[in-house]
C-alpha cells in the first residue's frame, strides 16, 4: 500500500510513515513520511526549547519507576560485570576511597564536630580538658589507659578561647590536664 507525503509530495510505501491508527484500528500512517517528520520535529524543537525541556522532564518523571526497575533488573542480570566495573573503579581511585572510608568511619563511630568547644571531666582520673569532638576525645583517653567512666560534659562554648578559660579555672582548682594556652 502506498501513500503521498504531505510535505515532500512523494509517493512512498506505508512502511515509510510512522504508525497511526484510525478509529477502526487500521494503520493509515501519519501525514509526513519518517524523514520529513524528523526534520519537522527538529525544527520545532529548535523553536521551542523550553517546551522540549518540560516534555522531557514530564516523560522522565512518568517513567522513573519503570527506569529504576529496568536498571535494577539489569544490575541483577549483569552482577559479575557490575562487580568487575566497581572493583576497577575502586582500584583506579583507591586513595580517594580510602580517605572517604576513614572520614566515614570517624563520623560513624566517634561523631562529627558540632561547631562547639566542650569542657569535660574524667572524675576517676581527676582530669579536665576541652575538645571540639567529645566522643573522639573519650576514645583517645580510653586508648591511652585512662578510666573514662563518668565522662562528664561541663559546658559548651562557641569559641575555643572561652572553653580554655573554663578549663584553666578547673586546673587552678587542682584538676589535671594539659593546657598551656590559658
Number of compact structural domains in the chain: 2
In a domain, 107, yes or no: no
In a domain, 14, yes or no: yes
In a domain, 93, yes or no: no
Domain assignment of residue 35, given as a range? 2-47
List the grid coordinates of 145.
Answer: 589507659
Q: 108-134: per-residue pLDDT in tens?
A: 666 656 778 899 999 988 999 998 888
142-157 mean pLDDT: 88
Q: What is the pLDDT of residue 35?
A: 92
> Residue holding cell 517513567?
63
pTM for this prediction: 0.41
Q: What is the pLDDT of residue 120?
A: 92
Three-class HEC string of the chain:
CEEECCCCCCEEEHHHECCCECCCCCECCCCCEHHHHHHHHHHHHHHCHHHHHHHHHHHHHHHHHHHHHHHHHHHHHCHHHHHHHHHHHHHHCHHHHHHHHHHHHHHHHHCCCCCCEEEEEECCCCEEEEECCHHHHHHHHHHCCCCCCCCEEEEEECCHHHHHHHHHHHHHCCCECCCCCC
Amino acid at each position: 500500500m502506498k501513500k503521498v507525503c504531505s510535505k515532500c509530495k512523494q509517493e512512498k510505501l506505508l512502511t515509510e510513515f510512522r504508525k497511526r491508527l484510525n478509529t477502526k484500528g487500521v494503520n493509515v500512517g501519519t501525514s509526513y513520511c519518517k524523514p520529513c517528520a524528523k526534520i519537522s520535529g527538529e525544527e520545532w524543537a529548535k523553536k521551542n526549547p523550553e517546551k522540549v525541556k518540560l516534555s522531557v522532564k514530564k516523560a522522565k518523571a512518568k517513567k522513573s519507576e519503570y527506569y529504576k526497575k529496568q536498571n535494577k533488573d539489569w544490575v541483577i542480570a549483569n552482577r559479575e560485570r557490575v562487580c568487575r566495573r566497581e572493583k576497577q573503579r575502586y582500584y583506579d581511585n583507591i586513595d580517594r576511597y580510602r580517605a572517604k572510608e576513614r572520614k566515614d568511619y570517624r563520623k560513624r563511630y566517634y561523631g562529627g564536630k558540632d561547631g562547639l568547644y566542650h569542657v569535660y571531666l574524667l572524675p576517676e582520673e581527676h582530669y579536665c580538658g576541652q575538645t571540639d569532638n567529645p566522643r573522639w576525645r573519650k576514645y583517645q583517653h580510653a586508648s591511652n589507659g585512662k578510666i573514662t567512666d563518668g565522662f562528664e560534659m561541663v559546658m559548651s562554648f562557641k569559641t575555643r578561647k572561652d572553653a580554655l578559660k573554663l578549663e584553666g579555672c578547673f586546673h587552678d582548682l587542682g584538676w589535671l590536664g594539659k593546657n598551656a594556652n590559658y
